[in-house]
Amino acid sequence: MRTQVGIVGAGPAGLLLGHLLHLRGIDSVIVENRGREYVTERVRAGVLEHGTTELLIQAGVGQRMLREGMRHSGVYLAFQGRRHRIDFEDLTGRWLTVYGQNEVVKDLISARYATGRPLCFDAEDVSVSRFDGEARPCIRFRSDGQEHELECDFIAGCDGFHGICRPSLRRESWRGYDCEYPFAWLGILANAAPSSDELVYSLHERGFALFSMRSSSVTRLYLQCASEESLDQWSDDRIWDELELRLSTLDGWRPNRGPILQKGVTGMRSFVAEPMRFGRLFLAGDAAHIVPPTGAKGLNLAAADVAVLSRALERHYRENRQDLLNEYSDRCLRRVWRAQRFSWWMTSMFHRTPGENEFEYKKQLAELQYVTSSRAAMTSLAENYTGLPLEVGL
């Protein structure tokens, strides 16, 4: 088997890359080690930056998102019993779309099948080799009991944080930067109509809570919990009581309760691998960097990486120019570090660190008071939250 670009992983990064390459007339094969259902049912974040929304529309995969996604022009920051609205559209002319990451993945899988280009689920023993020498890179895997050797011009490592591409690099060829946070998020999906039409980020004495949604009948909520929190300790009633305590405001606002459809604990860490290119292997998305979910940047960074990569590969194939491929890592990392800073800042502003003294809490309240009262500070938050413009369109 032979292809131009071998893509490891069918998450948002791999699938969107495959689609952008298709639009640019470049051939690819996507190899995923999980099943289609697992990939489409995995509950993840759901906030698309302005630029990500535009990219999906331009790429022709935004129709359902436009119909079913929710346009959000701002968010609320809540503390000391009050909600303060940050009006993104007024401050920056930009807005967000709330649409589940798994819905984006479903749309991209349908688009992939419509192109007739290969997408292989349930691949076993996936490995990558020969990407940093003269020989052609190769992806090996087993599917339906058969061994496959896929020869490629380039490999895109879009296989997430726990994938095999990054661990296949020579240890001395890259450096990792990371930061672990001493807390996690307990997230639920509930069959309850959202009681606010915008997200609410709340700092409470007992810790952070977030109100989000997926549709007019499904609410998504998160609570700061301990890193090693066990779900056994959390009955549905306890989760609702804690959410109500941390989110309710003095004007009587609180989340609506309803049957819990799904619950899980998400760890919080920041990680960046530098560089993101190794000869003919390019890392993209979570394979190269992860952010704590507080800034809602994970999926958006993945989209920004593959927008740059697909453009750089087009330049290579159409004009035989390597400049954009050579710049890939630096261009992506500039955006990644901006998003890291913002995600870290949002995380520090909203979470109670175990063992911290009251000075920290007072400082957080002062920061929130500033951010919700100064137009300059609100604009800074709004610019970062709605996202920097994408450098590359179609």
Q: Which residues are catalytic?
A: 72, 201, 293, 297, 385
CA distance 384 to 364: 19
Q: Contacts with ligand APR in 155-194 (CB under 6 A)?
A: 158-160, 163-164
Helix (H) or strand (E) holding 381: helix 375-386
Q: Which of 21, 45, 61, 169 binds ligand APR (CB under 6 A)?
A: 45
Tokens of 271: 């990680």
- Which one of ligand APR, ligand PHB, none is in contact with 139 (Cβ closer than 5 to 8 A by kind)? none
Shortest distance, CB of residue 252 to ligand PHB, whole angstroms?
A: 24
Q: Sketch the per residue contact string, 80 through 119, with ligand APR: x for CB under 6 A, - otherwise.
A: ---------------------x------------------
DSSP 111-154: HHHHHT--EE-S-EEEEEE--SSSSPPEEEEEETTEEEEEEEEE
284 CB-near residues (< 8 Å, 6+ apart): 13, 14, 17, 156, 157, 158, 276, 302, 305, 306, 309, 332
Q: Which is nearer to ligand PHB, 122 or 229 (CB)?
A: 229
Residue closer to ligand APR (CB basis): 284 or 325: 284
Question: What minimum distance in Å lies between the beta carbon of 150 and ligand APR?
Answer: 12
By CB under 6 A, residue 69 contacts ligand PHB? no
Q: Which uninterrupted H or E stretch holds 40? A: helix 36-41
Token pair in block for residue 102: 């798994």
CB nearer to ligand PHB: pick between 47 and 273: 47
Q: What angle do CA 311, 314, 320 make, to 5 degrees?
A: 125
For ligand PHB, the binding residues in 19-58 under the rule CB under 6 A are: 45-47
Residue 325 makes CB contacts below 8 A (sequence gap 6+) with 277, 312, 313, 315, 316
Residues 190-209 that bind ligand PHB (CB under 6 A): 199
- Considering only 24, 36, 44, 82, the residue that binds ligand APR (CB under 6 A) is 44
Which x/- pattern, by CB under 6 A, does the window 272-311 give for ligand APR? -------------xxx----------xx--x---------
* Residue with the CB atom nearest ligand PHB in the bound state: 212
- Please report whether residue 12 would count as binding ligand APR according to CB under 6 A: yes
Q: How many CA atoms lie within 13 Å of 28's alpha carbon, on the beta-carbon side?
A: 33
Chain residues 276-295 in contact with ligand PHB, contact rule CB under 6 A: 293-294
CA 201/CA 363 separation, integer angstroms: 17
Binds 371: which of ligand PHB, ligand APR, none (CB < 5-8 Å by kind): none
- Over its C-alpha atoms, the chain yields an Rg (Å, rounded) of 21
Number of other CB atoms surrounding residue 27 within 10 Å: 16
19 or 214: CB nearest ligand PHB: 214
Residue 62 touches ligand PHB, criterion: CB under 6 A: no
